[in-house]
């Protein structure tokens, strides 16, 4: 008799993996410093850099800092970047002028990113290091498929990999208020801002981890976005201590970026920038909506072809509008009566219907989180261009184009609210 021990061990392995601390990669945007305006002096910028690096080294954090070369004010800032390298941290590319890809052509955007790549690579080469990572400013990867593809082709050809964010947040937005309160000597205000800063990050970490774990059914590694700020220099020690005490371990880029969840392919396009998990969720929502709409049309065509006009019209909303060259009909019941009057609900007079989808456009916008992040909304509707074809056993068929608008109902089904047939 075989021993049950291997099976018991196999059943135990997932729980053991779940018991391991969650790997998290710390990334820092906008090196050498996020705000040159708030911190114009070399002394100030050096002091903040030292504190940021001290927090990282004190917790043994292997971070990736991405450089916005247009924010380098001179040789002193180059020396600050060398401090990051001396501390064992990795540097990546965050563009030269921190442009929004949504508002910039691919040619101009790629030229800007390439300028930054050349400059950063020049810092790394004497140390026999290579530039591996690029992060999109504002996390905007392209608002059209063509722009998405153009940047992906450029990154591949230049040997850079996109460095995604899985935990997005608004840490940079605390900087100005914090600096003003600190310079004014307002200890109570600075303490309050630090508390809010920490609470915001904890909330965002927990939210994004819950989202990803629900999506993938397991404890998924994370990539946390932070910025090089003075408020961060005074808050990171507390944040890193919290992470360690709440089931996290700091991990390097190679380990975290090797996880299958983080390598899930996507082709999300849109004008706003989001975390990877929100991109994947938005794509899943669109895919689910597409499947639901296509299923509705398949069922509608089958109902028609079987002579079931009641079933065919059941997918119209109660106040649906139908438009054809002969006029406008309003209301599901009126649409049903129109079809019955014209076709008589007999299979031989109705023929066999085929509905072929030529284009689907989804109505989905943006929501705003409690912390001010823009998030992809649910799919609120869809517009479909389709080609209909009718075939009859003993007479010529017919075909034409229709455009329908649909919306999800409260019960999760989809309904046609407008139908324009030609």
Number of domains in the chain: 2
397-403 average pLDDT score: 93
As a whole number, the mean pLDDT across the chain is: 93
- 125 & 267 share domain: yes
- 299 & 227 share domain: no
Q: How confident is the model at residue 207 (pLDDT cuts 50, 70, 90)?
A: very high
Residue 15's pLDDT is: 43
Name the DSSP letter for residue 272.
S
pLDDT for residue 304 is more than 90: yes
β-strand pairing of 161-162 with 374-376? unpaired
* CA-closest candidate to residue 24, choices 282, 212, 150: 212
CA-derived radius of gyration, the chain: 28
399 CB-near residues (< 8 Å, 6+ apart): 387, 388, 389, 390
CA distances in angstroms from 221 to 18, 375, 398, listed in the order given? 11, 21, 55
Residue 365's pLDDT is: 83
- 196 & 287 share domain: no
Q: How confident is the model at residue 345 (pLDDT cuts 50, 70, 90)?
A: low
**CATH label of the domain that carries residue 246:** 3.20.20.370
Residue 19's pLDDT is: 77
Residue 294's pLDDT is: 96
* Domain end marker among 219, 253, 273: 273
Q: How confident is the model at residue 17 (pLDDT cuts 50, 70, 90)?
A: low
- 214 & 287 share domain: no
Q: At what angle do helices 145-158 and 106-124 cross, to 10 degrees?
A: 20
The answer to whether residue 6 is domain-embedded is: no
- 213 & 99 share domain: yes
Residue 241's pLDDT is: 98
β-strand pairing of 398-408 with 381-391? antiparallel
* Domain end marker among 273, 308, 336: 273
- 266 & 356 share domain: no
Please indicate whether residue 226 or residue 37 has the higher confidence score (pLDDT).
Answer: 226
379-384 average pLDDT score: 95
403 class by beta-carbon count within 10 Å (0-12 exposed, 13-18 middle, 19+ buried)? middle
The answer to whether residue 4 is domain-embedded is: no
pLDDT for residue 64 is more than 60: yes
Q: How confident is the model at residue 76 (pLDDT cuts 50, 70, 90)?
A: very high
Cα–Cα dist 62/252, whole Å? 6
CA distances in angstroms from 398 to 166, 323, 324, listed in the order given? 51, 18, 15
* Domain end marker among 273, 297, 329: 273
Cα–Cα dist 181/65, whole Å? 27
158-166 average pLDDT score: 98
Cα–Cα dist 28/254, whole Å? 16
DSSP secondary structure, 144-177, as one string: SHHHHHHHHHHHHHHT-EE---SB---GGGGHHH
Token duo for residue 224: 């946390």
The answer to whether residue 1 is domain-embedded is: no
Neighbours of 328 (CB within 10 A): 10
Q: Which domain holds residue 247?
A: 20-273
Q: Which residue has the tokens 């196999």?
A: 10
């Amino acid at each position: 008799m075989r021993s049950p021990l291997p099976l018991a061990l196999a059943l135990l392995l997932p729980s053991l993996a779940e018991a391991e601390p969650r790997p998290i990669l710390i990334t820092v945007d906008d090196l050498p410093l996020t705000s040159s305006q708030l911190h114009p002096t070399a002394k100030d910028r050096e002091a903040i850099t030292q504190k940021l690096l001290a927090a990282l080294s004190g917790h043994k954090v292997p971070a990736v800092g991405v450089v916005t070369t247009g924010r380098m004010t001179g040789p002193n800032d180059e020396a600050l970047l060398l401090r990051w390298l001396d501390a064992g941290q990795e540097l990546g590319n965050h563009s030269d002028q921190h442009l929004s890809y949504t508002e910039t052509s691919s040619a101009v955007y790629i030229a800007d990113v390439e300028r930054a790549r050349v400059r950063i690579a020049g810092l790394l080469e004497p140390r026999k290091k290579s530039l591996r990572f690029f992060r999109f400013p504002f996390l905007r990867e392209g608002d059209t498929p063509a722009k998405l593809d153009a940047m992906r082709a450029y990154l591949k050809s230049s040997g850079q990999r996109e460095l995604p964010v899985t935990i997005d947040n608004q840490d940079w937005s605390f900087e100005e208020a914090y600096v003003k309160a600190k310079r004014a000597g307002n200890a109570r205000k600075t303490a309050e801002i630090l508390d809010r800063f920490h609470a915001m990050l904890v909330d965002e970490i927990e939210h994004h981890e819950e989202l990803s774990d629900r999506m993938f059914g397991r404890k998924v590694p994370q990539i946390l976005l932070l910025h090089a700020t003075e408020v961060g220099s005074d808050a990171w020690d507390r944040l890193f201590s919290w992470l360690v005490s709440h089931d996290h371990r700091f991990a390097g880029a190679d380990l975290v970026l090797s996880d299958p969840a983080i390598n899930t392919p996507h082709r999300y396009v849109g004008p706003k920038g989001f975390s990877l998990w929100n991109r994947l969720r938005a794509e899943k929502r669109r895919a689910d909506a597409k499947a639901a709409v296509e299923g509705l049309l398949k069922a509608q065509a089958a109902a028609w072809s079987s002579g079931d006009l009641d079933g065919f019209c059941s997918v119209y909303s109660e106040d649906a509008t139908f438009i054809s060259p002969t006029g406008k009909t309003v209301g599901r019941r009126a649409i049903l009566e129109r079809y019955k009057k014209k076709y008589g609900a007999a299979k031989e007079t109705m023929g066999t219907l085929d509905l072929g989808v030529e284009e689907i456009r989804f109505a989905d916008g943006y929501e705003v989180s409690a912390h001010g992040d823009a998030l992809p909304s649910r799919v609120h509707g869809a517009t479909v261009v389709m080609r209909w074809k009718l075939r009859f056993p003993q007479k010529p068929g017919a075909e034409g184009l229709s455009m329908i608008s649909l919306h999800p109902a409260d019960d999760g089904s989809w309904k046609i609210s407008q139908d324009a047939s030609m």
